[in-house]
Structure 1
Amino acid sequence: MTAEMWTAVSGGAVGVASAVVTAWGARAARRTRRDHRRDDFTAVTDRMEKEITRQGQRIDELEADSEQQRTRVAGQDFTIRYLTAWVRSLYGHIRATGAEPPSPPQPVPDDVRPYLHDIGV
């Protein structure tokens, strides 16, 4: 190999190396490791924000359902107290006339007994 050939080959190698270094430098100048981390952080915080918003909406729905249930239970409580008072007055009226009130159509459940303690069942 002649000196001109070595010069040409080394010039080609230097050109390829320069192209690789230039490409790597351009990429490094465009996106740093910190940029990638910041983008990851942004993506994670965006997902967290969406999830927090979804959870907040779910909590609002559950609170609305809870309020409806409280209203329904309060109405049922009032109805049960009204019916219990009405049955007690009927029992009292039947006993006042000297008759014996009829027995319940079925055995009274144990869960109900504490609330019907004063009507003699």
Structure 2
Amino acid sequence: MTVDTWIQAGLALVGTAGGVVAARSARRTKRQENRDDFTEIKKALNERIDELKVTQAGQQEQLTGQGAAISWLVVDRRSMVSYIRSRGLEPPAPRPIPERARPYLDHLDV
């Protein structure tokens, strides 16, 4: 075997090794799969967070409406009691406020 044959064989081995390395790097690795799973999970979680924000906004709007209704009821009750007293009558005895409702009625701006 001559030197030219050895050089050609060495170049063929280097070329083959380069091809193997290129094929290996082109193949999807487990790390890439995990990274893709992470992005999918992150995307799903972000969608869920957006849904929860919409739900929370609806619940906040409902609570605001309920607070306005309670406030209106308190004002209406007070005006009815004052109307009854202005006519010289005695309004019915007030019923006790339930413990569960008391914290919400103490802070009303009425």
**Which category of TM-score, normalised to the shorter sequence, fits these structures?**
0.5 to 0.7
**Counterpart among 56, 60, 64 of residue 54 in structure 2:** 64
Runs of at least 5 residues in structure 2 that lack an aligned partner in the other structure: 1-15
**Counterpart among 15, 38, 42 of residue 52 in structure 1:** 42
Aligned to 1:94: 84
**Counterpart among 84, 108, 121 of residue 97 in structure 2:** 108
Aligned to 1:5: none
TM-score, structure 2 normalization: 0.65
Deviations for 1:61-100, whole angstroms, at most 9, x for unmatched residues? 0000001111111111111111111111001111222222
Secondary structure of 1:87's partner?
helix
Aligned to 2:67: 77
Aligned AA for 2:77?
V
CA distance in structure 2 between the aligned counterparts of 1:73 and 1:84, rounded to whole angstroms = 17
Structure 1 position 116, deviation (Å): 6.1
CA distance in structure 1 between the aligned counterparts of 2:106 and 2:75, rounded to whole angstroms = 10
Aligned AA for 1:102?
P
Aligned to 1:42: 32
Runs of at least 5 residues in structure 1 that lack an aligned partner in the other structure: 1-24
Kindly, what percent of the aligned residue pairs are identical? 31
TM-score, structure 1 normalization: 0.60
Change over 3 Å in CA distance of 1:98–1:67 after alignment to 2:
same
Secondary structure of 2:92's partner?
coil
Change over 3 Å in CA distance of 1:116–1:91 after alignment to 2:
farther
Q: 1 or 2 for the larger relative contact order (CA 8 Å, sep ≥6)?
A: 2
Deviations for 1:6-56, whole angstroms, at most 9, x for unmatched residues? xxxxxxxxxxxxxxxxxxx99xx3665x778x6011000000000000000
Change over 3 Å in CA distance of 1:43–1:81 after alignment to 2:
same
Tell me how large the CA RMSD over aligned residues is. 2.9
